[in-house]
Structure 1
Amino acid sequence: MRRKWNTIVIRKIPAWYVLFSAAFCLFVAMLSGNLQPWYTNNFLHTGLQPISQGNTAEPKVALACNVFWGEEFLPQMLDTLAQQDAKITFFIGGSWAKKYPEMVKTIADGGHELGNHTYSHPHPNNLSKEKNQEQIIKTEELVHSITGIKTNLYAPPYGEYNNTVLMAAHELDYRTIMWSIDTIDWKRPPAQVIKNRVISKLHNGAIILMHPTAPTAEALPELLREIKNKGYTVVKVSDILQ
Structure 2
Amino acid sequence: MIVILSKKFFRIIIAIILVLIIIITGTILYSKKTATSTTTNYATVNRPIERGNENSNYIAIACNVDWGNEVIPEILEILEEKEVKISFFVTGRWVKAFPEMFEEIVKAGHEIGSHGYQHLDYSKLTLEQNKDQIKQTEEIIMQYSNQKPSLFAPPSGAYNEYTLITAQELGYKTILWSIDTIDWRQGSTKDVIVKRVMEKPNHHGAIVLMHPMPETAKALPALIDQLQEKSLKVGRVSDVLVD
State the partner residue of 1:15: none
Equivalent position SS for 1:121: coil
- Give the alignment partner of residue 84 of structure 1, picking from 82, 99, 117: 82
The code of the aligned residue for 2:152 comes to: Y
Q: Does 1:230 align with 2:236?
A: no
- TM superposition shift of 1:200: 1.0
State the partner residue of 1:197: 196
Q: TM-score, normalised by structure 2?
A: 0.80
Q: TM-score, normalised by structure 1?
A: 0.80
State the partner residue of 1:161: 159
Coordinate RMSD, CA, aligned: 1.6
Offset from partner CA, 1:138-184 (integer Å, 9 cap, x none): 01100110111211100001111221211111110100000000000
What is the alpha-carbon distance in structure 1 between the residues aligned to residue 141 and residue 92 of structure 2?
7
The code of the aligned residue for 2:94 comes to: W
Q: Any conservation in 2 of the 1:46–1:170 contact (CA below 8 Å)?
A: no
Equivalent position SS for 2:50: coil
Q: Does 1:141 align with 2:139?
A: yes
Which sections of structure 2, spanning at least 5 residues, go unmatched? 1-38
- TM superposition shift of 1:106: 0.5
What is the alpha-carbon distance in structure 1 between the residues aligned to residue 167 and residue 56 of structure 2?
28
Which sections of structure 1, spanning at least 5 residues, go unmatched? 1-40
- TM superposition shift of 1:44: 9.5
What is the alpha-carbon distance in structure 2 between the residues aligned to residue 42 and residue 57 of structure 1?
32
- Give the alignment partner of residue 70 of structure 2, picking from 69, 72, 75: 72
State the partner residue of 1:123: 121
State the partner residue of 1:213: 213
Q: Any conservation in 2 of the 1:48–1:163 contact (CA below 8 Å)?
A: no
The residue correspondences of 1:54-69 to structure 2 (distance < 5 A) are: 54-69=52-67
Among the aligned pairs, what percent are the same residue? 45
**Higher alpha-carbon Rg:** 2
What is the alpha-carbon distance in structure 2 between the residues aligned to residue 43 and residue 207 of structure 1?
27
Aligned pair count reads 202
- TM superposition shift of 1:43: 7.9
The code of the aligned residue for 2:196 comes to: R
